[in-house]
Structure 1
Amino acid sequence: MAEVQDGHCDSTSQSTDSLRVEPIYESFLCPLTKQVMRDPVTIDSGVTFEREAIMKWLNECLSSGKRLVCPVSKKELSSTDLNPSIALRNTIDEWMNRNEAAKLDVARKSLTSDSTECDILQALQYIDEICQRSRSSRQVVRRDGLISMIAELLKNSSTKVRQKALETLRSIAKDDDDNKVEIAAGDNIRTMVKFLNHGQTQEKEKAVSLLYELSENKSLSERIGSVPGAILILVGLSSSKVENLLIVDRAEKTLENLESCEKNVRQMAENGRLQPLLRLLLEGSPDMQLSMAAYLGELVLSNDVKVLVAQTAGSTLVNILKKGNREAREAALKALNQISSYDASAKILIEAGILPPLITDLFTVGSNQLPMRLKEVSANILANVVASGVRFESIPLDHNRQTLVSEDIVHNLLHLISNTGPAIECKLLQVLVGLTDSSTSVQNIVDAIKSSGAIVSLIQFVEAPQREVRMNSIKLLNNISPYMGQELADAFRGNYSQLSSLVRVIADNNGVSEEQAAAAGLVADLPMRDSVLTRRLLEDGAFAMIISKVMRIRQGEIRGGRFVNPFLEGLVRIVSRITFVLDDNPDIIDVARECNLTALFTDLLQMNGLDTVQIFSATALEKLSHQSKHLTKVLPAPNPGLCFSIFPCLSQKTVATGICRVHCGICSARESFCLLEGKAVEKLVACLDNNNEKVKPSGMVTIGQDKLPSELLSMWISCLISLGYFRRWGHNDHVTGK
């Protein structure tokens, strides 16, 4: 049926004349175009032309100033009137219909698996041509049952056949919903989608163009979206940097059509295309806004998308939170909960005014109050926005200029913490943690806690069975402990089990957690000279456990992330408590000996970069060395003999072997805490090289504690001079202890 050249067949170059049953009559052809006329008109000369062709001829004559003549007879025209040749038009239509019917019949026979590739391509080319002529031709194709036959060719092994079938189906579908529905029958849409993912460039181009045509029908747009992966692939194509522009454009326009279906909008949002959902959220009906807000709360959003949503729809969601009914507020809360979990988007929500309605929802009681499950969401959002690090003392909540750190607001938060379930307790404790993390607002929170007397109830949460509640309470107490050390000590003395709970947290051996670091910092901030708490820690076995952890960290046995250093600092401060209660406590001195604290703190002096560890180690050595004069075993002075008693000028002052030159007795680092015997002096001197000025005085004071004999003091001063310390400072008061 078709010509074959070099084994290949090009459907675009093949004529469909061989399919014609009746020949073309000369009178059917326009003299100008040599094509069959569709709208024949007769001019003044009596010659018939295609309307469009003769109008173009006449217009060119008029515009160029030429005489109006018939292009065939060259007869001058007295008029430009165009008289429709209805009879000829009807005759041509009848002839065309007979030929189309005959050619369609031949084409149908060619659309079978037995036909050659060239025959199939020529048949498709003919069907494509007649479908582009008129809608009636497209209807004939449907009535003759050709659509299903062409759709079956989408599975043909020939790439050319598949491409031409896609192209022909698009022509059949144009402006005809019935044809579109038939094309979409069965799994045809699924097959088209496969071309988008696995097809060659031309197949992708023709497949996405056909899908675009089908998507103009609203009911079919839902079916396209229901094909697994269809929207994901289209979203990928629409944002592709490597596909050709036609594919990208058609994919984008197809997605725009698919937006008419709410289910498709949701799928697009799931696949990162949020704008349609946000548009419906901003411009849709109240019911649509509710639906989109609710769905937004279910999505997992990347941080960049959270910022986009906050910028685009943050104010709308906050407004729903303020004025919507309960169902709408619930949807808005869930969406805001998602968006607020990133610092940058949380700050945008704060600017949009989210704080006042959040606080109102949390504090409202009575018939208008939210259910506890929604208050929990509000509490979580509040915790999220507080974590953003904004200065909340400058953000008013109401016309009274109250802020989140105002005393009344904090009192209400504390009241809620004590009178709700674990879920809300946890989040509101987290809110207070965030507020006390800030140096500008921590004092406001401390003052409110003091004035409310809430410290006892807050301490109770360190024994909470829920880990998150316990951790947030410990973090909060750790943040306020530098300001409320005595109040915390008084509360712990009222219930030792809570202190024991902190010890158990510190003792946990599963790495080093934030909770452990906070617990260590909290215990370390309790008053150092509180011997009652120190003895309680002894009874709990805290010091032996903590010293073991310090040594394991020092030896590299315990490793961890960012919490190891603050954890170690807290542990060292806790151990140093022992040295503050040595006076008149022989049993505590025995503990210090048993733990060999002189050796421990001397070793810790070498932890460069951890200034707190060095400061408290030096201070602890100072306290220990202060006891040395009481613990040194002083030997009786030897009898000088008669001669030397008569002639003292002949005597020579000597120090017996094994006698401490500082304490003039038998000393040891372990038993009498002698710094000289413990080789701590050199390490204390090394602390003077620390850039932190707070570390230097600790070393100086400790060196000066021992009231050194003049010869040894001179030796240490010489050591310091040789190291250049006096040239730097210009005085030696620290060294001599004056």
Structure 2
Amino acid sequence: MAGFLGELVLNNDVKVLVASRVGSSLINIMKSGNMQSREAALKALNQISSCDPSAKILIEAGILAPLVNDLFAVGPNLLPTRLKEISATILASVVNSGEDFYSISFGPDHQTLVSEDIVRNLLHLISNTGPAIECKLLQVLVGLTTSPTTVLSVVSAIKSSGATISLVQFIEAPQKDLRLASIKLLQNLSPHMGQELTDALRGSVGQLGSLIKVISENTGISEEQAAAVGLLAELPERDLGLTRQLLDEGAFVMVISRVIAIRQREIRGNRFITPFLEGLVKIVARVTYVLAEEPDAIALCRDYNLAALFIDLLQSNGLDNVQMVSATALENLSIESKNLTKLPEVPPPSFCASMFSCFSKQPVISGLCRLHRGICSLKETFCLYEGQAVPKLVGLLDHTNVNVVEAALAALSTLIDDGVDIEQGVAILVEAEGVKPILDVLLEKRTETLRRRAVWAVERLLRTDDIACEVSADQNLSTALVDAFQHGDYRTRQTAERALKHVDKIPNFSGIFQNLG
């Protein structure tokens, strides 16, 4: 009967029925039968475990312990490779059913699938078996690293066993399913061990090149490409060595062309297009984090007018991550603007001017940037004012996603930062109707980070008398500043104190000034 079940094609409802009626019996045969019976039971369990509800029934029936035993067994009970592959397939199915394997124990020692020795044994098998079993076991780890409750245990075991490099090497596997499983696993690991993966990819073996090759395949957007982009996107953005290598391998040019093709609808959308685009934009944004150290990064931004691209991406309604990353990239570019602005050369005074003060009037130079007092453009110096980005950033300040608001406010804050003409920066914000939205961010108190940024920006705005006069009459704004003065972190309290001085609203609370000292 077990053999017969293994040969049938069952729909999901029947799989659940079979699992609930005879799942325990099949597991018992798998544990104690002869090799022929075990094979029949494994094939039947493989058939019914491919549906999440039936997989959960099998977990409750105790399938984990015999599966793990079959995979790790040595000596007379060793399963032949073809049956180990079936066991690995069943384990991959049950792990991807969505259960919390951190709390499901099995065996006499009450281990879990994320116990360190279990994960270490899985890693050992992955490095010492054939591609088919390796692929299924990598899928097991993909399932375990998808859950926030189990991923950290897997990360810990990988780090302690030194398995990072061996996992990264699978990126070059010729088998597509094996390569996909490894890239998905590394993508899940990247938020938790980004620097270790970066160091491994930056080696001279060629895995980074293989990853770029996957992304550059012109075959629509596959799951493998989306995972590869997601992996690269999560790696530390300030790692200069990785960015340098991506520049050398032409990765940024390829990624930029992909972003543009999606924006122009030359690449047709499918279920992977959103994570693919989000990852691509994050990869391109890497280059804006190293502008001060890497002249080639500045050249790339100029050659491909990346500031204009990021301004265009601000309008990707419904794609919060794209808008957030684009605003942050514009912040990075804008910070560099003051270093790239070409200051005008003032001719030396003539002989008459040096002798007679009436001839010493300086010439008026037209066409200079109000903000940076030099020759600016969006393409060459990444000036947000010249690029007319300010109204678009202001438009994001009432976004429902606080991360987008924070990124937009940070970009706008570069207009009133040290090193630029702050008075003109405030005027630019006034013209873009940006002052009230910034004040509203302070009033809403959505997160501590937003409050800190808003207090900083408001203090700069209040240096303008007209704005200070208007704010001083608004009791709600004064109360918000007093609240920041009392309850913010040390730097926020100092900034709030300066802001309150601008509007003559310093509260006389006993002990506050002593605490600030």
TM interval, short-chain normalised: 0.7 to 0.9
2:403 maps to 694
1:534 maps to 243
User: Retained in 1: the 8 A contact 2:116–2:153?
Assistant: yes
2:421 maps to 709
User: Retained in 1: the 8 A contact 2:371–2:425?
Assistant: no
User: Retained in 2: the 8 A contact 1:435–1:445?
Assistant: yes
User: Retained in 2: the 8 A contact 1:669–1:678?
Assistant: yes
Quote the Cα distance in structure 2 between the aligned partners of 1:563 and 1:392: 27
Residue 137 (structure 2) pairs with residue 428 (structure 1): yes
Supply the AA of the counterpart residue of 1:591: L
Tell me how far 1:311 sits from its aligned partner. Answer: 1.0
Supply the AA of the counterpart residue of 1:712: Q
1:349 maps to 58
> Secondary structure at 2:381's aligned position in 1?
coil
User: Retained in 1: the 8 A contact 2:202–2:245?
Assistant: no
1:518 to 224, 227, 250: 227
Summarize the Cα distance change of 1:658–1:312 in structure 2 as closer, same or farther, 3 Å threshold. same
Tell me how far 1:659 sits from its aligned partner. Answer: 1.2
Matches within 5 A, 1:346-425: 346-425=55-134
> Secondary structure at 1:393's aligned position in 2?
coil
Quote the Cα distance in structure 1 between the aligned partners of 2:341 and 2:429: 24
Matches within 5 A, 1:130-145: none
Tell me how far 1:733 sits from its aligned partner. Answer: 2.1
User: Retained in 1: the 8 A contact 2:29–2:38?
Assistant: yes
User: Retained in 1: the 8 A contact 2:394–2:408?
Assistant: yes
Q: C-alpha deviations, 1:355-377, integer Å up to 9, x for none? A: 11011000001221010000000
Quote the Cα distance in structure 2 between the aligned partners of 1:374 and 1:595: 54
Residue 442 (structure 2) pairs with residue 729 (structure 1): yes
Residue 204 (structure 2) pairs with residue 495 (structure 1): yes
User: Retained in 1: the 8 A contact 2:394–2:434?
Assistant: no
> Secondary structure at 2:386's aligned position in 1?
coil
Quote the Cα distance in structure 2 between the aligned partners of 1:580 and 1:714: 26
> Secondary structure at 2:113's aligned position in 1?
coil
Summarize the Cα distance change of 1:602–1:559 in structure 2 as closer, same or farther, 3 Å threshold. same
> Secondary structure at 1:729's aligned position in 2?
helix
Quote the Cα distance in structure 1 between the aligned partners of 2:441 and 2:124: 56
Quote the Cα distance in structure 1 between the aligned partners of 2:103 and 2:293: 52
Tell me how far 1:571 sits from its aligned partner. Answer: 0.7
Quote the Cα distance in structure 2 between the aligned partners of 1:565 and 1:459: 25
Quote the Cα distance in structure 2 between the aligned partners of 1:632 and 1:710: 16
Higher mean C-alpha deviation, range 336-345 or range 519-528: 519-528
> Secondary structure at 2:379's aligned position in 1?
coil
2:466 maps to none
Tell me how far 1:608 sits from its aligned partner. Answer: 1.9
TM-score, with structure 1 as normaliser = 0.58
1:609 to 308, 318, 327: 318
Q: C-alpha deviations, 1:168-207, integer Å up to 9, x for none? A: xxxxxxxxxxxxxxxxxxxxxxxxxxxxxxxxxxxxxxxx
Supply the AA of the counterpart residue of 1:610: L
Tell me how far 1:483 sits from its aligned partner. Answer: 0.6
Tell me how far 1:656 sits from its aligned partner. Answer: 4.0
Matches within 5 A, 1:322-333: 322-333=31-42
User: Retained in 2: the 8 A contact 1:524–1:573?
Assistant: yes
Q: C-alpha deviations, 1:46-70, integer Å up to 9, x for none? A: xxxxxxxxxxxxxxxxxxxxxxxxx
Tell me how far 1:346 sits from its aligned partner. Answer: 0.5
> Secondary structure at 2:84's aligned position in 1?
helix
2:487 maps to none
Matches within 5 A, 1:248-647: 292-637=1-346
Matches within 5 A, 1:115-194: none
Aligned positions, number = 444
Matches within 5 A, 1:240-251: none
User: Retained in 2: the 8 A contact 1:426–1:469?
Assistant: yes
Supply the AA of the counterpart residue of 1:633: K
Quote the Cα distance in structure 2 between the aligned partners of 1:728 and 1:464: 50
Q: C-alpha deviations, 1:578-614, integer Å up to 9, x for none? A: 1111114222211221121111111111112222212
Supply the AA of the counterpart residue of 2:287: I
> Secondary structure at 1:300's aligned position in 2?
coil
Identity of aligned residues (%): 59
User: Retained in 1: the 8 A contact 2:141–2:185?
Assistant: yes
Tell me how far 1:715 sits from its aligned partner. Answer: 2.0
Higher RCO (CA 8 Å, separation ≥ 6 residues): 2
User: Retained in 2: the 8 A contact 1:481–1:488?
Assistant: yes
> Secondary structure at 2:378's aligned position in 1?
coil
User: Retained in 2: the 8 A contact 1:697–1:734?
Assistant: no
TM-score, with structure 2 as normaliser = 0.82
Q: Kindly report the root-mean-square deviation, in angstroms, between the aligned alpha carbons of the 2 structures.
A: 2.3
User: Retained in 1: the 8 A contact 2:184–2:227?
Assistant: yes
> Secondary structure at 2:396's aligned position in 1?
helix
Quote the Cα distance in structure 2 between the aligned partners of 1:362 and 1:674: 60
User: Retained in 1: the 8 A contact 2:27–2:63?
Assistant: yes
Higher mean C-alpha deviation, range 595-604 or range 653-662: 653-662
Q: C-alpha deviations, 1:524-549, integer Å up to 9, x for none? A: 12221222211211222111110000
User: Retained in 1: the 8 A contact 2:398–2:437?
Assistant: no
> Secondary structure at 2:397's aligned position in 1?
helix
Question: Structure 2 stretches of 5 or more lacking a match?
Answer: 444-453, 462-494, 496-517
Tell me how far 1:709 sits from its aligned partner. Answer: 2.1
Quote the Cα distance in structure 1 between the aligned partners of 2:86 and 2:364: 76
User: Retained in 2: the 8 A contact 1:394–1:403?
Assistant: yes
Quote the Cα distance in structure 2 between the aligned partners of 1:305 and 1:655: 85
Quote the Cα distance in structure 2 between the aligned partners of 1:477 and 1:523: 10
User: Retained in 1: the 8 A contact 2:145–2:189?
Assistant: yes
Q: C-alpha deviations, 1:218-238, integer Å up to 9, x for none? A: xxxxxxxxxxxxxxxxxxxxx
Question: Structure 1 stretches of 5 or more lacking a match?
Answer: 1-291
Quote the Cα distance in structure 2 between the aligned partners of 1:496 and 1:617: 32
Quote the Cα distance in structure 2 between the aligned partners of 1:336 and 1:381: 7
Tell me how far 1:575 sits from its aligned partner. Answer: 0.8
